[in-house]
Amino acid sequence: MKVGIIGLGFVGLSFASVLGSKGYYVIGVESDRNKVSKIIRGEPPFYESKLTNTLKMASKKLFRVSTDIKLVVNQCDLIFVTVGTPQMKDGNIDLNMIKSTASEIGKSLSKTKNKPIIIIKSTVVPGTTQNLIKPILEKNSKKITGVGFGLITNPEFLREGKAMDDTRKPHIVVIGGDDKNSIKKVKEFYCNIYGTKIPMIITNTQTAEMIKYANNSFLATKISFINQIANICQSVAGTNVENVARAIGLDPRIGNQFLKAGPGYGGSCLPKDLQTLIRFSSKSGIDPLLLKAVQKTNASQVRMVVSLIERSLVKVKGKKITILGLSFKEDSDDIRESVSIKLINALLKRNAVITVHDPKAIENTKETFENRIRYAYSIKDALRHSQCAVIMTPWKEYGRLTNNDFRTMKRKLIIDTRRLFIGHNLNAEYHAIGVG
């Protein structure tokens, strides 16, 4: 069994590395030559815990990288498409990469006897595989789906920061398709990797695409819900959202995950997918009232952080504020849609003097703010002479800080958006989201 993976971004490289480390013959295709050289050197182009080792293991076995789609179309039995579908400035999803990939696959299919199954893992709006990808493949290959090649939709649910664990042991596999033979082969492939006990949903392509959007939108809904509860808790003295979340999370109908209140969700997926579903729903004539409220609640959460800062500092202008954590979540260097970036922008508008720290995301942040803010490479340096420290990303090292670390601050004021210091005996003015 030869596996091709087109697009070595987050999902593609994680998947390729895990399959490769398990001994599968994998050809990864990536158009960015810079990325290709890095991957060949065994260096992932982004930070993901455990990926470097897995990639090295894969490279020692049968994982190869190329820039040539033809190679995988000629040789592979299964071809996973994991190219990005980013958001455009107008909020719509950019399908250009997936369109050009489908057309290149189609052209190569026209010249080969190989009959691979094309498996769409990229997140695409319901109907895209049927109405866009399939016609492009058929037109360029002059072959019919289910005869000259197979076509499956297979959304991905891995999380950044946990990509290796999630890829090795996903909670579910969703397979969407119309032709029984392709579904059977993809099902067998996954059963070989994950065993037969893994929950599998077999459905059509549109439903598989919808599952991905519903999943991410529901996660976003849970976060906005608990953030709203947190904000209410803040106005009731003595209330702590942590205990509220723990209690309601024990109700099996609710579940205990994604109930961590904070500054709002970010990243390259939840905000984008919710926005796409809102647009898609509106175009379909359904006013997505709940989804819009989730989005609005999330956008307003950064204002809650600003108001906590303003309430304590009164005048933000000229004040030295330290931001601890820039990535949209811990164990990641990704700052896409990170609430920290939104907060820095809001504070710069108020003429605050900003110093930032993050264990992994400083280099990415430099590209956004250049010399408008100061970058500290140690927490100690970040806190020295500061008049307010704002904890934004729940990196483990921030949770280990003690009074000794805060002693060099000019004013010991801590705004904790993740409640890392509840129960710690801090000798500081302390305000946390969700604590009244």
String of contacts with ligand UGA for each residue 337-376, x by CB under 6 A: ----------------------------------------
**Interface with ligand UGA includes 328 (CB under 6 A)?**
yes
* CB neighbourhood size of 374 (10 A): 15
Q: Is 258 in the site for ligand UGA (CB under 6 A)?
A: yes
How far does CA 195 lie from the centroid of its chain? 26
Place of tokens 């209140």: 261
In the annotation, is 269 catalytic? yes
Q: Among 131-139, 257-265, 290-298, 381-389, which window interacts with ligand UGA (CB under 6 A)? A: 257-265
Q: Show the CA angle centred on residue 225, arms to residues 393 and 341, nearest 5°.
A: 30
47 near ligand UGA, judged by CB under 6 A: no
Which one of the listed residues 76, 233, 269, 388 is annotated catalytic? 269
Interaction residues for ligand UGA, span 222-251 (CB under 6 A): 223
Site mask for ligand UGA (CB under 6 A), range 116-135, x = bound: -------x------------
Residue entry with tokens 């158009």:
31
41 CB neighbour count, 10 Å cutoff: 9
Q: At what angle do helices 289-313 and 339-349 cross, to 10 degrees?
A: 50
Q: Is 46 near ligand UGA (CB under 6 A)?
A: no
**Sheet arrangement for strand 2-6:** 63-66, 25-29, 2-6, 78-81, 117-120, 150-153, 173-177, 200-203
Nearest approach, Cβ of 157 to ligand UGA (angstroms)? 4
Triad 15, 20, 21: Cα angle to 5°: 100
For residue 50 the two structure tokens come to 């455990």
Binders of ligand UGA in range 390-419 (CB under 6 A) = none
Total residue length of the chain: 436
Binding range to ligand UGA, per CB under 6 A, among 50-58, 101-109, 158-166, 233-241: 158-166
Reference 91, options 125, 114, 122, 131; nearest CA is 125
Nearer to ligand UGA, 21 or 216 (CB): 216
Strands (E), 249-310: none
Q: Residues 167-206: x/- map of binding to ligand UGA (CB under 6 A)?
A: ----------------------------------------
Where along the sequence are the contacts to ligand UGA (CB under 6 A)?
A: 123, 156-160, 216, 219, 223, 258-260, 262, 265-267, 269-270, 328-329
Residues forming the active site? 269
